[in-house]
Amino acid sequence: MTPSIADAIVIGAGVLGASVALDLTRRGYKVAVVDKSGGPGHGSTSASSAVVRFNYSTWDGVATAWESKHCWEKWSDYLQNSDKSESATIVVNGMAVLDVPIAPRERVTPIFDRVGVPYERWDPVTLSARIPGIDVGAYWPPKSISSDAFFEETTSELGALYTPDAGFVSDPQLAAQDLVAAAQKLGARFLFNRTVVRVSDRAGRVNGVALGDGTWLAAPVVINVAGPWSGALNRLAGVGREFTVDVRPMRQEVHQVAAPTGFNPPGGFGPSIADMDLGTYIRPAPGDKLYIGGTEPECDPFEWLDDPDYANPSVTDERFQAQVIRAARRLPELAVPSRSKGVAGVYDVSTDWAPIYDRTDLDGFYVAMGTSGNQFKNAPLAGQFMGELVDAVEGGHDHDAKPVIHRCKYTGHEINIGAFSRKRSRNSTSSGTVMG
């Protein structure tokens, strides 16, 4: 038998994989992380808008995001032993989630009350006072920008649910590097430019992975944190049939434009805006810029992919126009540039747009996947969930029958990791979008 290279192999060194590696090393595991790219956070993580918000459709989703926010706020304490000269930071600018029938505010406010997330209810008058220049028209449902209906006027108005503690992380790739550095200091090994091409060479229990260069890495635990490639990794491991939620890669673009005058206060940032009413989200960025992403309006084509490796890495004029014109409808002073600028990335979309943090039917093979464009913010907790799960299950606990409960360090909440099970009933309250 080949001696084990590690107690656990993590596939993927994105922000989640690095976080899983850190938690496992803290628990005393000898960890090896394999990534086919050249460094930390080169997958979905690099394209992330890194918005930290709390509007999710379930208690566990909200509680996870709220606890994670506390980890970002205490990032250097959280990393403990990182002596990097520069680390990621959280910027708190607040977020206005505009009213929309598919995610009514009455659904989330009772959850916010239980979790302790502060919020303000804004009527249309308050919304226009708090976000200078905003158009408070309600246009639902989103329409194609090539249709006349998109430009029709409306007599109805909308308000918003505002969470003052929402924000964004300054640099998502740097956050992944921070986690890698902290894990390395505790002894985790990172193998870059190495591709996992086979998982396990025996049935029943995972025993390692084979790399593209022919190397065999033996370990009794393997964790699939491969982002949009996670479905393919599951197929290599022969798992997935037992999953009630499927995953599929979806290409996305986030565009960059100049903020309209007055949107950002001098030296600061205006609030982020989640605008499912028009099908977009808006996040301020340094240099008086705005990032503009999409919330999957049904009228625009979805870019499902068979293989993320073949995703077009460049932004397209068509997507740029669609998203920026939607944002300009909401912020009429926003100028739509003729040249498109931004980033393209890939989501790992699950059937109900919630992540899967779980074991699988192949003993020793775990997954942190299906992050659906909304789990960057939850990377700290995803790492802790997986560490706790691996510890419990490898210690003989039957997580499928009696889900492991995570006790949150900062908020004291108890989160049922079974809420993110591969065998869960699909979340019928999901917005069916990146908002979860």
Ligand X SMILES: Cc1cc2nc3c(=O)[nH]c(=O)nc-3n(C[C@H](O)[C@H](O)[C@H](O)COP(=O)(O)OP(=O)(O)OC[C@H]3O[C@@H](n4cnc5c(N)ncnc54)[C@H](O)[C@@H]3O)c2cc1C
Under the rule (CB under 6 A), what is the footprint of ligand X?
A: 11-17, 34-37, 41-45, 47-51, 195-196, 225-229, 233, 252, 254, 293, 345-347, 371, 373-377
CA 225 to mean position of chain CA atoms: 12
Work out how close the CB of 246 gets to ligand X at its nearest, in angstroms, rounded to a whole number. Answer: 17
Neighbouring CB atoms inside 10 A of 164's CB total 14
How is 367-380 classified by DSSP, letter by letter?
A: EEE--TT--STTHH
Rounded CA-CA distance 112/344 in Å is: 32
Q: Which is nearer to ligand X, 41 or 208 (CB)?
A: 41
Contact 109, 119 (CB under 8 A): yes
What residues have CB less than 8 Å from 173, skipping those under 6 apart? 40, 41, 42, 45, 46
**Between 277 and 348, CB nearer to ligand X:** 348
Q: Which residue has the tokens 């029938």?
A: 101
CA distances from 414 to 59, 161, 403, 418 (A): 11, 25, 12, 12
The amino acid that residue 359 corresponds to is: R
Cβ nearer to ligand X, comparing 82 with 295: 295
Residue with token string 């390395």: 184
Toward ligand X, which CB reaches closer, 60 or 135? 60
Q: Which is nearer to ligand X, 264 or 272 (CB)?
A: 272
The nearest distance, CB 192 to ligand X, in angstroms, is 9
Residue 219 and residue 210 in contact, taking contact as beta carbons nearer than 8 Å: no
Taking residue 129's Cβ as centre, other Cβ atoms within 10 Å add up to 11
Query: Taking the complex as a whole, how short is the minimal distance between the CB of residue 230 and ligand X, in angstroms?
Result: 8
Distance from chain centroid for Cα 12? 15
Residue placing its CB nearer to ligand X in the complex, 34 or 103: 34
Smallest gap from residue 348 Cβ to ligand X (A): 7
Nearest of 54, 73, 70, 51 to residue 62 by alpha carbon = 54
| Cβ count within 10 A of residue 107 | 13
The count of other CB atoms within 10 Å of the CB of residue 97 is: 25
CB-CB contact of 216 with 2 (8 Å): yes
CB 351 to ligand X: min, Å: 16
Residue closer to ligand X (CB basis): 345 or 387: 345
Distance in Å, CB of 2 to ligand X, minimum:
19
Minimum CB–partner distance for residue 426 and ligand X (Å): 19
Q: Which is nearer to ligand X, 161 or 247 (CB)?
A: 247
- Number of continuous H segments (helices) and E segments (strands) in the chain: 10, 23
Cβ at position 433, least distance to ligand X in Å: 12
